[in-house]
């Protein structure tokens, strides 16, 4: 077998393969014998028909099978001999094929990028020196108390911390909000709507303008919809609300005691406090880990530049676009608005996809160098975690995964996680004072 390679572009090669006539004829003979053994022709017992009659009847089938076998075997052998790391599927074109002649074909393939792996141990990261305080625990306990709060109607002016029960109608640019955002009916008009006066619940700045009012009072409330507001059509715009305060409700928290602790599955108050502290410490540990990983990944990506296979980037771009569109649809973004923004969505997805593909090649190379592997046990554990997350029976989750050929994706996720653990463990971390 003769093989030659031509570089077409970065990560793209043209592989020319030629197989001599002897190998071709040997394949034809072997396949013809198989057909002869199984052929059932009129006047002959199965397997006893003459070769020339079998060839005449099954000529097309024999040729197709010989072509598939010869090209498939020769392609795989050529890739192995040339030590090419192929990404995706080849584009194969037949140049010459037939009985009594050599086989010639070309395969256009994309290959994994070639690059020198940069130093990946000791990557820098800055981490705030945070710890869980008693004040953090008290704040979390107050949030738990809030889940069992009672709300008493009071005959006084609305104060911070109260619940305002209101009727309202809203406009934007002098028009009902539904004219701009047809799905935002709840933002246009509501009756007996509860608004917490603490923080920026509902629309930022809304509740603050109602504080001081009493039941029956009416006020005009002006708001600025944030640039990242959940309803895209209103982002960055101004709104005007005509508001009537129906009731003032005072929020009353239950006493922090053993009885309340039992409602959250704890034996007593001390056990509840211990559990809350543990949860907060786990959350802090996770957020610190996430912060370090984000920084070391960026540092790693900045250390090296290499060409990426076009097909891999294109496939990943489609995946990112699909995710962005799905998320927008779930948030209630109209299909027409998504269509208008498709160029921006694609541009954003393309950048994201390149970063993902680049990181995947870096992760793969680090895993190979460190001999990191994803075992079947690792993958089963990951599948169990995902099944619990999606609240699906494990067997059903595995069946769905197999239907969409997603098992390899789990192996990649596990490998990715193990490499990031390595980068995090070996990072050079600088402590920084907590942000105020």
What digits encode the pLDDT tens for the residues 350-381?
999 999 999 999 999 999 999 999 999 999 99
Backbone angles phi and psi of 103, in degrees to 5: -95, 130
**Helix H or strand E encompassing 242:** strand 238-252
pLDDT at position 436 over 70: no
pLDDT at 18: 96
pLDDT at 58: 86
Given its phi and psi angles, is residue 176 left (phi above 0), alpha (psi -120 to 50 degrees) or beta?
beta
pTM comes to 0.77
8-19 average pLDDT score = 94
Cα 375 from chain centre: 22
- Average pLDDT over the chain, rounded to whole? 92
124-138 average pLDDT score = 95
228-236 average pLDDT score = 87
Structure-block tokens of residue 370? 């460190």
pLDDT at 82: 94
pLDDT at position 258 over 70: yes
Q: Report whether 254 contacts 197 (CB < 8 A).
A: no
Q: Residues near 267 by Cβ (< 8 Å), separated by ≥ 6?
A: 261
pLDDT at position 47 over 90: no
pLDDT at 328: 78
pLDDT at 298: 97
From CA 257, how far away is CA 148, in angstroms rounded?
Answer: 13
The percent of residues in the chain predicted with pLDDT above 90, rounded, is 74
Pairing of strands 238-252, 218-224: antiparallel
Q: Which domains, and CATH codes, for the chain? A: 2-111 (3.30.70.1050), 150-252 (3.10.50.40), 262-432 (1.10.3120.10)
Say whether 13 sits in a helix, a strand or coil: strand
pLDDT at position 332 over 90: no
- Confidence at 20, pLDDT banded by 50, 70, 90: very high
Q: Residues near 168 by Cβ (< 8 Å), separated by ≥ 6?
A: 189, 190, 193, 221, 241, 242, 243, 244
Strand runs labelled E in 45-147? 86-96, 103-111, 124-128
243-264 average pLDDT score = 96
From CA 270, how far away is CA 246, in angstroms rounded?
Answer: 41
pLDDT at position 262 over 70: yes
């Amino acid at each position: 077998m003769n093989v030659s390679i031509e570089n077409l572009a970065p990560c793209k090669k043209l592989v020319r393969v030629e197989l001599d006539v002897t190998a071709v004829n040997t394949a034809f003979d072997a396949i013809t014998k198989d057909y002869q053994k199984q052929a059932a022709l009129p006047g002959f017992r199965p397997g006893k028909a003459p070769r020339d009659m079998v060839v005449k009847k099954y000529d097309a089938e024999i040729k197709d099978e010989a072509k598939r076998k010869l090209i498939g075997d020769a392609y795989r052998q050529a890739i192995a001999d040339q030590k090419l790391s192929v990404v995706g599927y080849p584009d194969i074109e037949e140049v010459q094929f037939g009985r009594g002649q050599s086989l010639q074909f070309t395969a256009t393939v994309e290959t994994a990028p070639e690059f020198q792996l940069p130093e990946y141990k000791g990557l820098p990261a800055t981490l705030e020196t945070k710890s869980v305080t008693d004040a953090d625990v008290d704040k979390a306990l107050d949030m738990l108390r809030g889940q069992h709060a009672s709300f008493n109607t009071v005959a006084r002016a609305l104060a911070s911390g109260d619940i305002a029960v209101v009727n309202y109608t809203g406009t934007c640019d002098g028009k009902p909000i539904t004219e701009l955002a047809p799905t935002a009916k709840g933002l246009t008009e509501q009756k007996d709507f509860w608004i917490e006066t603490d923080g920026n619940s509902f629309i930022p700045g809304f509740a603050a303008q109602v504080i001081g009012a009493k039941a029956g009072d009416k006020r005009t409330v002006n708001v600025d919809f944030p640039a990242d507001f959940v309803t895209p059509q209103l982002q960055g715009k101004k709104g005007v609300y005509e508001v009537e305060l129906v009731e003032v409700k005072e929020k009353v928290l239950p006493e922090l005691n053993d009885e309340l602790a039992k409602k959250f599955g704890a034996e007593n108050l001390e056990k509840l406090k211990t559990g809350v502290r543990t949860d907060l410490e786990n959350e802090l540990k996770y957020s610190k880990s996430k912060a370090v990983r984000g920084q070391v990944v960026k540092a790693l990506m900045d250390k090296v530049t290499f060409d990426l296979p076009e097909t891999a980037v294109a496939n990943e771009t489609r995946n990112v676009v699909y995710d962005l569109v799905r998320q927008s649809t779930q948030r209630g973004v109209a299909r027409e608005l998504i269509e208008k923004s498709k160029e921006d969505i694609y541009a954003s997805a393309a950048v994201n996809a390149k970063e993902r593909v680049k990181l995947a090649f870096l992760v793969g190379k680090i895993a190979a160098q460190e001999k990191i592997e994803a075992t079947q046990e690792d993958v089963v554990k990951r599948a169990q975690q995902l099944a619990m997350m999606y609240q699906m029976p494990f067997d059903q989750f595995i069946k769905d995964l197999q239907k969409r050929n997603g098992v390899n994706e789990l192996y990649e996720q596990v490998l990715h996680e193990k490499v990031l653990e390595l980068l995090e463990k070996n990072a050079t971390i600088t402590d920084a004072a907590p942000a105020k």
